[in-house]
Amino acid sequence: MKNSNAMKNPKPPKPPASLSDEAKGWWKQITEVFVVDDPAGYLLLGTALESFDDMRKAQAVLEKEGMTIKDRWGQQRQHPATLVLRDSRNLMLRSLKALNLDIVPGAPLKGGK
């Protein structure tokens, strides 16, 4: 993807309906600032934002239930949502990296929503 300062982005497709409002906000901001060159780029962006939503869901579970759970013997174990958090965060970051965003050093990035 290229910075929109160099090129004007053709009208991007709407964000997938399955995304949260927060992820849809990121979709709109990213597609306003960067030019997505092909359908594969939109697939990567969708994957990144689906992973973002999974990450947020795991964060909500962990905030409510804590980082550990007790197993059937009463021993503390890592909460399974910690693995979902780790994996979804990693997939989101890999997908965003694969988009090859042309970010100008020192330029501020707008937040989601």
Instruction: Say what the pLDDT of residue 85 is.
Output: 98
Q: For the segment 27-86, what is each residue's pLDDT rounded down to a tens digit?
A: 999 998 888 878 999 999 999 999 999 999 999 999 999 999 999 999 999 999 999 999
Terminal CA-CA length for the chain? 21
pLDDT-based confidence at residue 6 (cuts at 50, 70, 90) = very low
Instruction: Say what the pLDDT of residue 101 is.
Output: 78
Residue from 26, 16, 87, 95 nearest 57 by CA: 87
In a domain, 51, yes or no: yes
Residue 8 has pLDDT above 50, yes or no: yes
In a domain, 111, yes or no: no
In a domain, 104, yes or no: no
Residue 106 has pLDDT above 80, yes or no: no
Q: Is 45 buried (19+), middle (13-18) or exposed (0-12) by CB count in 10 A?
A: buried
How many folded domains does the chain comprise?
Answer: 1
Range of the domain at 58: 2-98
In a domain, 107, yes or no: no
Instruction: Say what the pLDDT of residue 27 is.
Output: 95
In a domain, 105, yes or no: no
Instruction: Say what the pLDDT of residue 34 is.
Output: 87
In sequence order, the 6+-apart residues with CB closer than 8 A to the CB of 60 are none
In a domain, 29, yes or no: yes
Q: What distance in Å separates the CA atoms of residue 74 and residue 59, rounded to the nearest whole number?
A: 24
pLDDT-based confidence at residue 112 (cuts at 50, 70, 90) = very low
Instruction: Please give the structure tokens belonging to residue 112.
Output: 């989601």
Instruction: Say what the pLDDT of residue 113 is.
Output: 45
In a domain, 106, yes or no: no
pLDDT-based confidence at residue 103 (cuts at 50, 70, 90) = low
In a domain, 108, yes or no: no
